[in-house]
């Protein structure tokens, strides 16, 4: 279910956050779907429960999930909860990546094609 590389320089909780975000973006996890409990996920992927809890807190602070006391964590309707600050950060990241691609002499048309392909995939998945 989750692609965690314990040898990676990327902290495990960040890998988990990225995995869950991708599952939400790709509609593998849908709005209001219950996530596994911290304890259950820790057992399934043999990771310390504190690491799972840290990832869940990060996802909640970014608006991807919400928690109900005594009930668990659930997928948010991210289209309505992602802040303008988060969008601005992603735009800045994208600008940096595009500048680096241009610096590496990747043709602008190739970059535009990549954006078009990503948009087409999102539409196919029903995210647009």
Could you read off the pLDDT of 34-73 as tens digits, one per residue?
Answer: 999 999 999 998 999 999 999 999 999 888 899 999 999 9
Contact criterion met (CB below 8 Å) for 51 and 16: yes
String of DSSP letters for 30-76:
-TTPBPPPHHHHHHHHT--HHHHHHHHHHHHHTTSEEEETTTEEEE-
- pLDDT at residue 88, as a whole number: 77
What does the pLDDT average to over 88-96? 85
Say whether pLDDT at 74 is over 90.
yes
- pLDDT at residue 82, as a whole number: 60
Task: Tally Cβ neighbours within 10 Å of residue 59.
Answer: 23
Task: Tally Cβ neighbours within 10 Å of residue 24.
Answer: 21
What pTM, to 2 d.p., does this model score? 0.67
Distance (Å, whole) CA 82 – CA 103: 31
Which tops the pLDDT comparison, 127 or 2? 2
How far is the CA of 85 from the CAs of 9, 116, 126, 128, in angstroms? 27, 24, 25, 21
């Amino acid at each position: 279910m989750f692609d965690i590389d314990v040898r990676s320089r990327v902290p495990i909780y960040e890998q988990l956050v990225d995995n869950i975000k991708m599952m939400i973006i790709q509609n593998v996890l849908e709005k209001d779907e219950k996530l596994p409990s911290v304890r259950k996920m820790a057992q399934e992927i043999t990771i310390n429960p504190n690491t799972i809890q840290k990832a869940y807190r990060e996802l909640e602070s970014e608006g991807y999930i919400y928690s109900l006391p005594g009930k668990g964590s659930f997928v948010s309707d991210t289209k309505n909860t992602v802040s303008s600050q988060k969008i601005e950060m992603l735009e800045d990241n994208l600008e940096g990546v595009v500048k680096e691609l241009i610096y590496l002499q990747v043709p602008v048309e190739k970059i535009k094609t990549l954006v078009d392909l990503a948009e087409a995939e999102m539409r196919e998945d029903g995210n647009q």
